[in-house]
Structure 1
Amino acid sequence: MTEKRKGARSIKDIPQDILEQLNRGDIETANLTEWLAVDQRLLLENLLQQNNRTVYLNPVLKSLAQLKKQTVNTINEAIGLELLNQAVKNHDEEFLSELSSHPADLVRCWSAYTIGRNNRLELKDKLNKIQSFASDSHFGVREICWMAVRPDISKNLTESLSILSEWAQHENEYVRRFASESTRPRGVWCEHIDALKQNPGSGLDILEPLRSDASRYVQDSVGNWLNDASKSQPEFVVEICDEWIRESPTKETRYIVKKALRTIKK
């Protein structure tokens, strides 16, 4: 099983048979090294051949050729967007549905973009559909899916915070983490949310339920959220951290607070 593979530490050490399976979309990547090693163009070509959609290949490759900056993430996004365009143009909902449950994690990443950037969907529908990606077993899919819907979260912040405050109390730690990570004021590899940089208090409905979360994955995200906020509103963050330590002096809260205050205490 893929989950039991640790994966090579460098791209040159990936066994040829594993690389071939990854590029065919037969298996998931086991770590970041494998994730970076996949030839997304080759994976795309294999996917379209396997699904009898080779007519989509040239339009997607044309979009990739127009990218000014070619990184794993920009290629990932461009493929997802153009697959969405082709499916919409050809009324091909069946294909989009197949992508969402594909064995290859990078294909599911493309699928997340077909939802996050689908202008025919309202925000609530996008978030409903993206939740299965937020709870995906693969780290790459979980990371890409919040980036796919982040522009809508930022644009519809009040509604997003309302919906995601419920996610912050979800039984699945990955879903809880999405609520925090997707709304970070500064975030990683994404545009900042200026409203939350200036008024981080509006995110407390998401953060409060997570202040003593048992999951280290969630704790890291909450600590990073507050650390983001500390760069523009340090007094607010110090006040919240003091309050949390007073009201819930658990080891989980102490860990979050230490992470939250790391920039202030430099």
Structure 2
Amino acid sequence: MDNLLSRKGASKPEHIPKEVLVELNKGTLESVNLTEWLAVDHIELIENVLAGYPYFLNFVKREIERLESPSVKTLIVEIGTALLLATHENRDQGLFNYLASHHSDSVRCWAVYMVGLDKSLDIHSKFIAIRPFAADRHFGVRELAWMAMRNDIDENLSESIRILVEWTVSDDENIRRFSTEATRPCGVWCKHIALLKDKPEIALALLEPLKSDTSAYVQLSVGNWLNDAGKSKPEWVTKLCNSWVENNKNENTLKIVKRATRNIT
């Protein structure tokens, strides 16, 4: 197993070693790159992970068998939805805790959507519940954490920004990065936030604390946030970046500004 844990990960699905796929589908191994993450057989993973929970296993299988050739993302969302419904019907919090702390990153992704799709939670409770996933050690879990919150953030934008302002000063770069990645005006593979495209200044309280962040991970997100905003409000982005450079001329700020203005002519 030690040699599997230290692997770099295959660049193509057909190059993933058989023993790696076996462990990924058992839930005993985390994926190390996007190729592996996409190669996980979630149907087989369900069978293995929920073997001791027959009620939930059967419930989920019934719900997802209607899907025709779903993408990995769609399958994860549907599994999370089914698990959420089943736990609400059964009033079983223990299953969520089991999944949320599972060794498999794919399983933790199911738990992400059990939070993101839970309409019984108010926005404050939902942010509290999603925070451990936003800080997860695995890139896939962190990405789905903000995607799962996207609609709630859009529908509760002012309150979400007030909550996320506190996240911008976290010692954890993953938490700081979540605050901007989750609120990008356009984002990637997700619904746009129309109000932020029209009035990006609304989120200035999130951007200002991060304008000189030392983390490359955060710098990339802030730069991309402003690049998004520049598609609809280039003058605003240019003015903000010029003021940052003038008042905070350091390497970190310059990196963010360079990325933020790369498409502004």
TM-score band, normalised by shorter chain: over 0.9
1:125 maps to 125
Give the unaligned 5+ runs of structure 2.
Answer: none
2:180 maps to 180
Deviation at 1:16, TM superposition (A): 1.1
Deviation at 1:67, TM superposition (A): 4.1
State how far apart, in whole Å, the 1-side matches of 2:80 and 2:125 are: 18
2:31 maps to 29
State how far apart, in whole Å, the 1-side matches of 2:175 and 2:218 are: 9
CA contact (8 A) 1:169 1:176 kept: yes
Paired residue secondary structure (1:160): helix
Deviation at 1:68, TM superposition (A): 6.4
1:201 maps to 201
State how far apart, in whole Å, the 2-side matches of 1:238 and 1:36 are: 38
State how far apart, in whole Å, the 2-side matches of 1:153 and 1:71 are: 24
State how far apart, in whole Å, the 1-side matches of 2:156 and 2:62 are: 32
CA contact (8 A) 1:25 1:43 kept: yes
Residue type at the aligned position of 1:174: N
| 1:227 and 2:231 correspond | no
**Residue 42 of structure 2 is aligned with which of 35, 40, 49?**
40
| Coordinate RMSD, CA, aligned | 1.4
TM-score scaled by structure 2? Answer: 0.96
State how far apart, in whole Å, the 2-side matches of 1:149 and 1:53 are: 27
2:211 maps to 211
TM-score scaled by structure 1? Answer: 0.95
Deviation at 1:23, TM superposition (A): 0.0
Residue type at the aligned position of 1:31: N
State how far apart, in whole Å, the 2-side matches of 1:39 and 1:94 are: 24
- The percentage of aligned residue pairs carrying the same residue is 47
| 1:103 and 2:100 correspond | no
1:247 maps to 247
2:10 maps to 8
Deviation at 1:251, TM superposition (A): 1.1
Matches within 5 A, 1:44-59: 44-49=46-51, 52-59=52-59
Paired residue secondary structure (1:43): helix
State how far apart, in whole Å, the 2-side matches of 1:192 and 1:62 are: 32
Paired residue secondary structure (1:249): coil
Give the unaligned 5+ runs of structure 1.
Answer: none
CA contact (8 A) 1:112 1:144 kept: yes
Report Cα offsets for 1:71-112 as digits up to 9, x if no partner: 111111111111111111111110011111000001001101
When residues 232 and 252 of structure 1 are mapped into structure 2, their CA distance, relative to the original with a 3 A threshold, is same
When residues 156 and 17 of structure 1 are mapped into structure 2, their CA distance, relative to the original with a 3 A threshold, is same
CA contact (8 A) 1:45 1:54 kept: no
State how far apart, in whole Å, the 1-side matches of 2:63 and 2:71 are: 14
Paired residue secondary structure (1:102): coil
Deviation at 1:150, TM superposition (A): 1.1
